[in-house]
Amino acid sequence: MRYCPKCNKHTEQKLERVKTSGRRAGSSLKKGRRKSVKLNYGYGGSPYPKLENNRRAGAKTSQKVLIRYSCKTCGKKTQTINARRMKKFEIAQATGQ
């Protein structure tokens, strides 16, 4: 049982996992590109130290998981606001009360 804002009451809801990865829109990357061009302009190099051996430093071993709930009576879907970081995520069937 979870609160449904459309039904304005607690209803049974189905949940599913939402993938958080994927391609970003081009406009969201433009600001960072402009910043890097400005920082590398002129004498001297980058203000940041180079990564050793060109490896990803501190790569994450867990994934961010978003959960989407859908109301069984009206079909309205709501999503968790903050993604939780976890190594393993499994949806198990609830048994009895």
pLDDT in tens, 22-69: 666 667 778 888 887 877 777 776 667 777 766 666 677 888 888 899
**Total number of domains in the chain:** 1
Question: What was the pLDDT predicted at 45?
Answer: 67
CA nearest 16: which of 97, 71, 87? Answer: 71
Residue 36 in any domain: the answer is: no
Q: Are 65 and 83 in contact (CB under 8 A)?
A: yes
CA nearest 13: which of 23, 21, 4? Answer: 4
Question: What was the pLDDT predicted at 3?
Answer: 92
Cα dist. 22→18, 59, 93 in Å?
11, 17, 28
Supply the range of the domain harboring residue 79.
Answer: 1-21+63-86
Residue 32 in any domain: the answer is: no
Cα dist. 88→20, 41, 61 in Å?
15, 44, 10
Question: What was the pLDDT predicted at 50?
Answer: 73
Phi and psi at 84, nearest 5°, equal -95, 140
Does 13 or 26 have the greater pLDDT score? 13
pLDDT of residue 85 exceeding 70, the answer is: yes
Question: Across the chain, what does the average pLDDT equal?
Answer: 81
Share of the chain above pLDDT 90, in %: 23
Q: What is the pTM of this model?
A: 0.56
Residue 75 in any domain: the answer is: yes
Residue 5 in any domain: the answer is: yes
